[in-house]
């Protein structure tokens, strides 16, 4: 392959990357327009707001997942971490803690620590991310049943209630929170040294280590961030549901990965960004909302969901040809 053609390829690739976020956004808008025209009640302000609220939870988990996947890894423990949060906050609430902030800080510390343990296993023990995080999920699943006993626990925490239900100026607090998370994530990826290191790590771990990137610390930070984000998403999910139960976080593993990939981030690492994940999350929620509207059996809903995700992936998730 000659040099000019490869530079041409990279410039075209980066152009595509910039467009992938827009492409996903375009699909979302097209789906919304078609759905509002064909399905009564879809296009109302209340319904669209509800969809964005649901997307906020996915979007926040997917912020961590985006970073991890750009760094060349994957975090399959986010579902279990969300459940830990939703079940753990009610358990950690102690009478002396009137604001409830103590419990929140404690649980976020725990989820960040879980993420750091994931990162330590991956960085120091060289366990593959998929195995490490799946094993962590299995471990947490057992620990959770031990702690929560399998029954739903309701929460009485003013801050979490506000996150889940308050609507300053008609905009849900969870959506405002998501916007804040999105800004921080995008700035971190695009404007900080840490962000640059994450891209380098995902593109080529050996080269980045040789160029002075502290690979173990970056990995710890990546998975710690993912744990923190999953914890925050757990708080949002808990606020919306009002109670936590074992299994509340299960759907978010697939949802977060799908949102990241639909947003154009490569599962191989080194490429992508959070700007695509945001419309990816909205798109996912819209699809599941539409499937619920179509009055179908559980089997058909599952088939439709899988087929739609595959179809959307064809638009945005393809890899380069081998030749």
Interacting residue with other proteins among 139, 161, 175, 245 (CB under 8 A): 139
Give the contacts of 33 (CB within 8 A, at least 6 positions apart): none
Nearer Cβ to other proteins (117/238): 117
The least CB distance from residue 158 to other proteins, in Å, is 32
Q: Does the protein bind other proteins through residue 49 (CB under 8 A)? A: no
Number of residues in contact with other proteins, rule: CB under 8 A? Answer: 49
Q: Name 267's Cβ contacts closer than 8 Å, sequence gap at least 6.
A: 69, 74, 257, 261, 317
User: 231 φ, ψ to 5°?
Assistant: -65, -45
Among 134, 188, 196, 293, binds other proteins (CB under 8 A): 134
**Of the candidates 195, 216, 212, 217, the residue with the CA atom closest to the CA atom of residue 270:** 195
Q: Does 74 bind other proteins (CB under 8 A)?
A: yes
Q: Which stretch binds other proteins (CB under 8 A): 50-58, 187-195, 270-278, 308-316?
A: 308-316
Query: Would you say 84 and 110 are in contact if contact means Cβ atoms under 8 Å apart?
Result: yes
* Residue placing its CB nearer to other proteins in the complex, 57 or 140: 140
The residue range among 47-55, 175-183, 269-277, 296-304 that interacts with other proteins, by the rule CB under 8 A, is 296-304
By CB under 8 A, tell whether 258 contacts other proteins.
yes
> Given the structure tokens 């964005």, which residue do they identify?
52
Contact 276, 24 (CB under 8 A): yes
Measured CA angle at 284 (ends 137, 245), to 5 deg:
40
What's phi and psi for 243, nearest 5 deg?
-145, 155
298 binds other proteins (CB under 8 A): yes
Q: Please report, as ranges, the residues that interact with other proteins according to CB under 8 A.
A: 74, 121, 125-128, 130-132, 134-143, 145-146, 254, 257-258, 261, 267-268, 297-307, 309-310, 313-314, 317-323
């Amino acid at each position: 392959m000659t040099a000019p053609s490869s530079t041409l390829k990279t410039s075209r690739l980066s152009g595509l990357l910039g467009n992938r976020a827009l492409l996903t956004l375009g699909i979302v808008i097209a789906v919304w327009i078609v759905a509002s025209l064909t399905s009564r009640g879809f296009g109302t302000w209340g319904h669209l707001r509800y969809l964005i609220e649901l997307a906020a939870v996915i979007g926040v988990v997917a912020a961590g997942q985006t970073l991890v996947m750009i760094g060349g890894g994957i975090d399959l423990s986010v579902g279990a971490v969300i459940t830990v949060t939703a079940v753990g906050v009610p358990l950690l609430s102690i009478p002396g803690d009137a604001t409830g902030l103590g419990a929140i800080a404690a649980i976020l510390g725990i989820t960040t620590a879980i993420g750091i343990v994931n990162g330590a296993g991956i960085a120091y023990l060289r366990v593959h991310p998929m195995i490490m995080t799946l094993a962590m999920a299995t471990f947490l699943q057992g620990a959770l049943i031990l702690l929560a006993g399998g029954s739903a626990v309701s929460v009485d925490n003013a801050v979490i209630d506000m996150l889940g239900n308050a609507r300053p100026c008609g905009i849900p607090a969870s959506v405002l929170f998501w916007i804040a998370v999105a800004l921080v994530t995008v700035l971190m990826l695009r404007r900080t040294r840490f962000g640059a290191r994450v891209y380098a790590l995902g593109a080529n771990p050996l080269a980045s280590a040789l160029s002075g990137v502290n690979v173990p610390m970056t990995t710890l930070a990546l998975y710690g961030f993912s744990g923190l984000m999953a914890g925050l998403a757990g708080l949002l999910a808990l606020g919306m549901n009002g109670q936590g139960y074992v299994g509340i976080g299960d759907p978010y593993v697939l949802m977060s990965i799908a949102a990241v990939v639909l947003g154009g981030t490569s599962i191989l690492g080194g490429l992508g960004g959070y700007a695509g994940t945001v419309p990816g999350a909205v798109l996912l929620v819209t699809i599941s909302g539409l499937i619920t509207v179509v009055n179908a059996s559980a089997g058909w809903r599952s088939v439709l969901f899988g087929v739609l995700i595959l179809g959307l992936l064809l638009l945005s998730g393809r890899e380069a040809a081998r030749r």
